[in-house]
A and B are shown apart, each in its own frame.
Chain A
């Protein structure tokens, strides 16, 4: 399983580089449609944004690690930070667009987007940091 690793400074201007590298890695597999690569690009942006913000809030100058593994039937991306961690189960999401107080929320869409855009989205978080694993399958995944 070929792996691509990227370490970026935890600064917002490096977000686009992370997206570009992951999208380029996914494009090596011709079975991924452009639309699916775009989905992964957005999901990765959400994960890396959270990682960068986590380091900024903690005052950490450590780097954020992005690893891509391209396999026969999937691409797997893991975004790791050394921030203070969070509990994904209790992290508030933005309310539904019809909610009377929807305009009060500028945040809270990142984790829901990661979950809807990928085939698997796993968040492991603790005091030592957070690792987000995002998986997108090739179209014929599961075929016999």
Chain B
């Protein structure tokens, strides 16, 4: 199975991009990438780019929850970009779409465009509705 996880810096955000299917096999690499990204900006500003994720299960959702906990504990901000139907449905089924700030694209996350929230604007469960 193809799986790739890498981090780029863009417009003041650390973008952790994941491509492939996110399950138990990929969780350690994503968790390590998020932890590494926490040290890049003070406070941390992290985008989890799941637009290239074709499949996610509860272990993948769990690593997103863990990322949100870590970023918030450091006083930072996390946004999660989702584009595929299966990933959207998984967030909706578990109600995590009301907890995790979802946006439609990385552009929306870093530029505050449609489906996203400006990093300087209000954030929170209601501020980044992109579903």
Cα A77 to Cα B57 with chains together (Å): 18
Contacts of B124 in A (CB 8 A): none
Q: In the complex, are the beta carbons of A46 and B65 less than 8 A apart?
A: no
Q: In the complex, are the beta carbons of B95 and A110 less than 8 A apart?
A: no
Q: In the complex, are the beta carbons of B98 and A106 less than 8 A apart?
A: no
Q: In the complex, are the beta carbons of B61 and A19 less than 8 A apart?
A: no
CB < 8 Å neighbour of A16 from B1, B94, B95: B1
Q: Which applies to chain B's interface (DSSP): helix, strand, loop or mixed?
A: helix
* A-contacting 9-mer, from B9-17, B21-29, B37-45, B109-117: B21-29
CB < 8 Å neighbour of A109 from B55, B61, B99: B61
Q: In the complex, are the beta carbons of B58 and A15 less than 8 A apart?
A: no
Q: Is A89 interfacial (CB-CB < 8 Å)?
A: no
Q: Tell whether A97 pairs with B24 under 8 Å between CB atoms, given A109-B58, A109-B62.
A: no
Q: In the complex, are the beta carbons of A45 and B23 less than 8 A apart?
A: yes
User: 1/0 contact trace for B1-13 toward A, CB 8 Å?
Assistant: 1000000000000
Contacts of A98 in B (CB 8 A): 95, 98-99
Interface residue count for A (Cβ, 8 Å)?
30
CB < 8 Å neighbour of B69 from A13, A38, A104: A104
Q: Is B90 interfacial (CB-CB < 8 Å)?
A: yes
Q: In the complex, are the beta carbons of B24 and A103 less than 8 A apart?
A: no
**Complex interface residues of chain A between 8 and 23 (CB less than 8 A to chain B):** 12-13, 15-17, 19
User: 1/0 contact trace for B48-68 toward A, CB 8 Å?
Assistant: 000000010111011101101
4 closest A-B pairs by beta carbon, nearest first, are: A106-B62, A12-B25, A97-B95, A109-B58
Binding site for A on B (CB under 8 A): 1, 21, 23-25, 55, 57-59, 61-63, 65-66, 68-69, 72, 86, 89-90, 93-96, 98-99
Binding site for B on A (CB under 8 A): 12-13, 15-17, 19, 38, 41-42, 45-46, 49, 52-53, 94, 96-98, 102-107, 109-110, 112-113, 116-117
Residue pairs across A and B with Cβ atoms less than 8 A apart, 20 shown, are A12-B23, A15-B24, A16-B21, A42-B55, A45-B55, A46-B58, A49-B24, A49-B57, A49-B59, A94-B94, A97-B98, A103-B65, A103-B72, A104-B69, A106-B62, A106-B66, A109-B58, A109-B61, A112-B94, A117-B93
